[in-house]
Chain A
Amino acid sequence: MIVTKNINFYYGTFQALKNISMTMEANTVTAFIGPSGCGKSTFLRLFNRMNDLIDGTRLEGECLIKGKDIYDKSINIDALRKDIGMVFQKPNPFPKSVFENVAYGLRVNGIKDKKFIADKVEETLKAAALFDEVKDKLNKSAFELSGGQQQRLCIARALAVEPSILLMDEPASALDPISTSKIEELIHDLKKKYTIVIVTHNMQQAARVSDKTGFFMLGELIEYNDTKKMFLNPDKEITQNYITGRFG
């Protein structure tokens, strides 16, 4: 589904990613772990070309999604981003109503049919396990929801445009344990339909939700393996050290 070949990425003169090649399968959950500043977010944001927004960045190497080079000139960025949903570290709903937040992606993609939008909003809120909690608050501002609800709203928002890939950058790091476990359950359900890549600092979380795990350090991909193997018997000692917390 997602294939990267020899990726090097630079912020100005600073090289944030070094020669990363990796393959992520469809309908799996892949977790990225690694110490802060190692380039996980940078790598994740390559897949929907979010890094394009930052001035002075440069990319070398190839990134193929569904077999197409997404950095090719002919690529329609909006269509690409529609197909690849993203959930951010901090919940970032728009300052609009709950309903409008979910409907946003539909509207910007040219859908005007009110009935369709209403149905879709309900459907995705249900898929994000949020509908029962907010069904009376659809027209209230999204800021009135709790942090955990906001994050699930952001997931619903991403799902509404029917992406095939879902990128999640530490989606639960700002949340309490209960909200976190709800999100983890959700990820588990979503796996059937979506290809998910998730960045996390929480080892248990990575172990619980992912099928494969990639360990990054200082811009390099140190080890990429089945999650089970990674946590029980990693190939590299340094991975072992990081996972067991014997590492600065």
Chain B
Amino acid sequence: MLKKFSNFTIKSLLIFSGAFAGITILFISIFLFKEGLGFFKKPAVEEGYSLFVNSKNKVEDFDSKKIKEIFDHEITNWSELGGEDVEILLFRMDNIFDYYSDEELGEEYEFLAEKLAEVIKAEEGIIAFVPHQYSPAEYSGVKELSVPNITPSDFFTGKDWLPTATPSPLFGTLPMLLGTLLVSLVAILFALPLGLGVAIYLSELAPEGIRKFLKPIIELLAGIPSVVYGFFGLVVLAPLVQKTFNLPVGETALTGSLILAIMALPTIISIAEDAMRNTPRAMKEASLALGATHWQTIYRVIIPYSKSGISAAVVLGIGRAIGETMAVLMVTGNAALMPTSLFDPVRTIPATIAAELGEAPSGGAHYQALFLLGAILFIITLFISIAAEMISKKKNYKDM
């Protein structure tokens, strides 16, 4: 009886564990998207605040970018936005004291909304940034601006990432998307020839003794924590890059790519080597028997034969590079600007999350934007891993 019961418990536990392992990844994706997708429901103006203008103001077409430029004094006249030729007057809450004294606003600021309305009515060029609790919306002569929510196209194609700007933060992720791609692809460009070379050496040339020595070395390279790579990059590589190319700073896209290249090497080497070792002996012998040199055999038979394995290695290497966080965070300089050259600082998606999530207020637009970035990263790497699996399963007899 007891035995039956314990058998049953153990079995259920086993099934539960299996199921858990199977669904963890779904669970992760649900959580990321749950937090992330709320982002597109967030108003473009900081939560809890609204913008007001004089009701005579005809300008209708606002978005976060224009608001930011207004408050940065880059747009100074309503005519620039298609309105009357009136100078723009910026108004934040503390400006109220330029118009009224403390007493006039009441002990608990109970007259504040009313007085705000008066100011807005009087100043034709005003734009006021006001918290909801003092909203003057019910008074005449005042118009509340309706700013559309942030759209996915703003998010993916916006070139400015200013998540803490007030009153209207900007969440354009294009610089990070491009930065991530740039750093990862250049890293693979460095790592691929080196990695393939070592893989060829290991699978075709190295005597057994050297192979036995080199394999653990490569595993060690894979084992070094990314923060240590980052540290090494920061204190050795960055100054080196700075000096070599005579740059103002050493923390650049190039530095990131170099570190990532080193980090992607073990993945590339071990997968490519496996693929090449799997080339049938008969293929190799057939080639040699025709008078091909070993090298001709390698690049005319072995590499084409292991093409799918090598492609999988490249894809996984890119995946590793795209997802890498700490090392990149420490060596790329993290400027959220559109990357223009390898010698400029850049910022990647993972680095952005790591650098900003700590400061983003939980549940706010910034926080959700970071989760959305995480979700994007998740999808990219998932896609890459599935692609790699499909590539390496594919037999490439036909298309050579």
Q: Does a CB–CB distance below 8 Å link A and B in the complex?
A: yes
Instruction: Mark A residues whose CB is within 8 Å of B.
Output: 48, 50, 53, 55, 78-86, 88, 90, 92-97, 104-105, 107-109, 141, 143, 154, 157-158, 161
How many residue pairs between the two chains, A and B, have CB atoms under 8 Å in the bound complex? 78
Q: Once bound together, how far apart are the Cα atoms of A50 and B290, in whole Å?
A: 11
Dominant secondary structure of chain B at its interface with chain A: helix
Please tell me which one of the listed residues A80, A88, A96 contacts residue B285 in the complex, with CB atoms under 8 A apart: A88
Q: Once bound together, how far apart are the Cα atoms of A104 and B296, in whole Å?
A: 10
Known: A94-B287, A161-B290. 5 other contacts (CB 8 A): A48-B289, A55-B208, A94-B286, A108-B292, A109-B291
Please give me the residue from chain B that is nearest to A78 by CB atom.
Answer: B291
Q: Once bound together, how far apart are the Cα atoms of A83 and B304, in whole Å?
A: 26
> How many Å from the CB of B209 to the closest CB on chain A?
11
- The listed residue with most A CB atoms (<10 A of its CB), out of B208, B293, B304, B400, is B400
Whether the Cβ atoms of A143 and B282 lie closer than 8 Å is no
Whether the Cβ atoms of B300 and A104 lie closer than 8 Å is yes
Given contacts A95-B305, A95-B400, A96-B400, contact A108 B287 (CB under 8 A): yes
Instruction: Mark B residues whose CB is within 8 Å of A.
Output: 208, 280, 282-293, 296, 300-301, 304-305, 396-398, 400
- The listed residue with most B CB atoms (<10 A of its CB), out of A85, A92, A93, A157, is A92
Please give me the residue from chain B that is nearest to A86 by CB atom.
Answer: B289
Whether the Cβ atoms of A92 and B280 lie closer than 8 Å is yes
Q: Once bound together, how far apart are the Cα atoms of A105 and B301, in whole Å?
A: 12
15 contacts between A and B (CB under 8 A): A48-B289, A53-B284, A53-B288, A81-B291, A88-B285, A88-B286, A92-B282, A92-B285, A95-B396, A96-B304, A105-B291, A105-B292, A143-B398, A154-B286, A157-B290
Whether the Cβ atoms of A104 and B290 lie closer than 8 Å is yes
Whether the Cβ atoms of B283 and A108 lie closer than 8 Å is no
Q: Once bound together, how far apart are the Cα atoms of A55 and B208, in whole Å?
A: 9
Q: Which A residues lie within 8 Å of B284 (CB)?
A: 53
Please tell me which one of the listed residues A79, A85, A90, A108 contacts residue B300 in the complex, with CB atoms under 8 A apart: A108
Whether the Cβ atoms of A95 and B291 lie closer than 8 Å is no
Q: Which B residues lie within 8 Å of A78 (CB)?
A: 291-293
Please tell me which one of the listed residues B208, B283, B291 contacts residue A94 in the complex, with CB atoms under 8 A apart: B283
Given contacts A95-B397, A95-B400, A141-B397, contact A82 B290 (CB under 8 A): yes
Q: Which A residues lie within 8 Å of B296 (CB)?
A: 108
Whether the Cβ atoms of B400 and A158 lie closer than 8 Å is no
Q: Once bound together, how far apart are the Cα atoms of A158 and B287, in whole Å?
A: 10
Q: Once bound together, how far apart are the Cα atoms of A57 and B289, in whole Å?
A: 18
Q: Once bound together, how far apart are the Cα atoms of A39 and B302, in whole Å?
A: 28
Q: Which B residues lie within 8 Å of A53 (CB)?
A: 284-285, 288
Whether the Cβ atoms of B283 and A92 lie closer than 8 Å is yes
Whether the Cβ atoms of A82 and B283 lie closer than 8 Å is no
Q: Which A residues lie within 8 Å of B292 (CB)?
A: 78, 104-105, 108
Whether the Cβ atoms of A90 and B282 lie closer than 8 Å is yes
Q: Once bound together, how far apart are the Cα atoms of A79 and B289, in whole Å?
A: 10
Q: Once bound together, how far apart are the Cα atoms of A48 and B289, in whole Å?
A: 7
Whether the Cβ atoms of B291 and A92 lie closer than 8 Å is no
Whether the Cβ atoms of A158 and B305 lie closer than 8 Å is no
Whether the Cβ atoms of A108 and B397 lie closer than 8 Å is no
Whether the Cβ atoms of A82 and B291 lie closer than 8 Å is yes
- The listed residue with most A CB atoms (<10 A of its CB), out of B290, B296, B397, is B290
Whether the Cβ atoms of B289 and A85 lie closer than 8 Å is yes
Q: Which A residues lie within 8 Å of B398 (CB)?
A: 141, 143
Whether the Cβ atoms of B288 and A94 lie closer than 8 Å is no
Whether the Cβ atoms of A92 and B288 lie closer than 8 Å is no
Whether the Cβ atoms of A108 and B289 lie closer than 8 Å is no
Please give me the residue from chain A that is nearest to B279 by CB atom.
Answer: A95
- The listed residue with most A CB atoms (<10 A of its CB), out of B293, B305, B397, is B397
Whether the Cβ atoms of A105 and B285 lie closer than 8 Å is no
Q: Which B residues lie within 8 Å of A84 (CB)?
A: 289
